[in-house]
């Protein structure tokens, strides 16, 4: 592993960012379905896009994985839970849509209506 020095630098960078990230209560919980159906449909790049984007530190959310959500034909699925536990389900998400959802819904509190399961025909 040639980049261990780089890892040490990233460790120190993380340490400096952690306080900022943990200083506020997380308002949202973002959940990605990562079962066989989700993976096959492309959920892994969606999760990684969400992790990378949320690392920028301006979002009040945690990103986690779950199993099969039950609508396999609409995968990849991303669920956003707000503080009250209310859930918005986004379907057929890709990496670009995931970043858009994060910016709009988590960042500004505006649901991206056209990607929700309710907007599916």
Partner 1 sequence: MMQDLAMTILDIANNSLAVKAQRIEIEIVDSDAKNLISIEIKDNGKGMSDDQIAQAIDPFYTTRKTRRIGLGIPFFKDLADLCEGSFSLKSDHGVQIYASMRKNHWDRPPMGDLGETISTLIQSDPDVHLILTITTDAETKKFDTEEIKVILEDISIAEPEILFWVKQTVNDLISS
Question: Residues interacting with partner 1, by CB under 8 A?
Answer: 1-4, 6-8, 10-11, 13-15, 17-18, 34-37, 39-40, 44-45, 47-48, 51-52, 54-55, 63, 65, 67-68, 70
Select 56 or 121, whichever has its Cβ closest to partner 1: 56
Q: Supply the minimum distance, in Å, between the C-beta of residue 3 and partner 1.
A: 6
Select 39 or 111, whichever has its Cβ closest to partner 1: 39
Q: How far is the C-alpha of 44 from the C-alpha of 58, rounded, in Å? A: 22
Which residue carries 């340490």 as its tokens?
15
40-79 as b/e: b if 16+ CB within 10 A: ebebbebbebbeebbeeeebebebeeeeebeeeebbbbbb
Q: Supply the minimum distance, in Å, between the C-beta of residue 87 and partner 1.
A: 17
């Amino acid at each position: 592993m040639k980049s261990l020095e780089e890892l040490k630098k990233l460790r120190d960078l993380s340490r400096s960012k952690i306080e900022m990230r943990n200083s506020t209560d997380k308002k949202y919980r973002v959940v990605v379905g990562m079962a066989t159906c989700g993976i096959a449909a492309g959920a892994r790049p969606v999760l990684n896009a969400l992790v990378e984007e949320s690392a920028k530190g301006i979002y009040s959310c945690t990103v986690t994985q779950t199993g099969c959500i039950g609508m396999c034909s609409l995968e990849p699925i991303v669920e956003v839970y707000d503080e009250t536990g209310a859930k918005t389900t986004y379907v057929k998400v890709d990496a670009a849509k995931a970043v858009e959802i994060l910016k709009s819904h988590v960042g500004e509190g505006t649901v991206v209506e056209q990607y929700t399961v309710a907007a599916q025909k």
